[in-house]
Amino acid sequence: GAGVSQSPSNKVTEKGKDVELRCDPISGHTALYWYRQSLGQGLEFLIYFQGNSAPDKSGLPSDRFSAERTGGSVSTLTIQRTQQEDSAVYLCASRRSGYGGELFFGEGSRLTVL
Amino acid sequence: AQSVSQHNHHVILSEAASLELGCNYSYGGTVNLFWYVQYPGQHLQLLLKYFSGDPLVKGIKGFEAEFIKSKFSFNLRKPSVQWSDTAEYFCAVNGDSGYSTLTFGKGTMLLVSP
């Protein structure tokens, strides 16, 4: 597609359940980022994939969070045993290869943990 | 580690007023600097960016920003705001090379009253 696509757009789950959030980046973009946006907290970096390099996982808040990127394209962010504090908008962004290019963001997946 | 500080969390202006949003970053090396904007109900989009050269950069919709290296600042300005500028504005920094994480500030919510 023309832009970064994320699904689901909204997800309501019960505490303790696992959730998977999907990101389909712009075709040809080698860099992919996941951020978490909470009210008043701005954008919190979670994980960064660049080509075939090992991902930068330094932003993942706990071992309940993981992400993978298959075939250098689609990425899935998994949150296990969700907690109420995981409620947020999860944003995916992609960037064309090259130095310091613009990030293109998806609409986000709003996660609500009850 | 890199960090970004945005001075104001909320700004309220009347139409035609001038705008300046403060942004300071912390990083010892070469940086790329960005301002992103999120209009109500929309995804994040790039407003302007600085990589090198002229420290005064111009973006879309009449916005500009000035990089002052000695002050580690990248303030956003617009001489006359419009109601349609109501949005959340995020400053971001990307250190050393383009192949690194993009760190965002907590954002500034701008409300322009007609």
Q: Where are the domains of chain A?
A: 5-98
**Are B9 and A40 an interchain contact pair (Cβ–Cβ within 8 Å)?**
yes
Asked if the structure places residue B14 within a domain, the reply is yes
pLDDT at B98 over 60: no
pLDDT confidence of residue B97: 56
Dihedral angle sign, alpha carbons of residues A70, A73, A76, A77: positive
Q: Are A57 and A47 in contact (CB under 8 A)?
A: yes
CATH number at residue B15: 2.60.40.10
Asked if the structure places residue B72 within a domain, the reply is yes
User: How many other β-carbons are positioned within 10 Å of the β-carbon of residue A59?
Assistant: 17
Q: Which domain holds residue B20?
A: 3-98
Pick the residue from chain B with its C-alpha nearest to A99. B98
Strand partners, B6: B23
Segment B6-13 mean pLDDT:
93
Asked if the structure places residue B76 within a domain, the reply is yes
Q: What is the three-class DSSP state of B1?
A: coil
Band (pLDDT 50/70/90 cuts) for residue A98 is low
pLDDT at A45 over 60: yes
Q: Report domain A5-98's class.
A: mainly beta
Q: Does B9 touch chain A (CB under 8 A)?
A: yes
Q: Which two tokens stand for residue A62?
A: 């706990």
Q: Are B7 and B21 in contact (CB under 8 A)?
A: yes
Residues of A in contact with B97 (CB under 8 A): 99-100
pLDDT digits (tens, 9 = 90+) for B39-70: 998 999 999 999 889 999 999 999 999 999 99
Ramachandran category for residue A59: left, alpha or beta (phi over 0 → left; psi -120 to 50 → alpha): alpha
Segment A72-76 mean pLDDT:
91
Asked if the structure places residue B91 within a domain, the reply is yes
B43 vs A98, A99, A107: nearest CB: A107
Q: Report the C-alpha gap between A42 and A36 in whole angstroms.
A: 8
Q: How many domains does chain B have?
A: 1
Asked if the structure places residue B61 within a domain, the reply is yes
Q: Does B44 touch chain A (CB under 8 A)?
A: yes
**Are A31 and B99 an interchain contact pair (Cβ–Cβ within 8 Å)?**
yes
